[in-house]
Amino acid sequence: MFEQQDLLDIARTPMPFGKYAGRVLIDLPEEYLLWFAKKEFPAGRLGRLMALTLEIKIEGLQGLIQPLKEG
């Protein structure tokens, strides 16, 4: 399960490290998230948000998150 705050965080939280540092989670490439899914998502909230972001992308629901980016 997820909460409304999770969706807001996916739309507004920048990736803190790596190749896509600074890019908000919803804008991360699906391939990058799939790589983490195979290796292991980071521990804690960031990892849970990245896993949820991947689910949203796989289901084609990015359009629900995009309006949340603006504020």
**Residue pLDDT, tens place only, 13-44:** 999 999 999 999 999 999 999 999 999 999 99
Distances (CA, A) of 40 to 62, 63, 67, 69: 22, 26, 29, 26
Of 70, 36, 38, 39, nearest to 53 by C-alpha is 36
pLDDT number for residue 16: 97
- Residues of the domain holding 23: 4-69
Please, which pLDDT band fits residue 71 given cuts at 50, 70 and 90?
low
What is the total count of domains within the chain?
Answer: 1
User: What burial class does residue 36 get, using C-beta atoms within 10 Å of its C-beta: 0-12 exposed, 13-18 middle, 19+ buried?
Assistant: middle
Instruction: Match 């949203």 to its residue by tokens.
Output: 56
Distance CA 11, CA 7 (A): 6
User: So what's the pLDDT on residue 2?
Assistant: 78
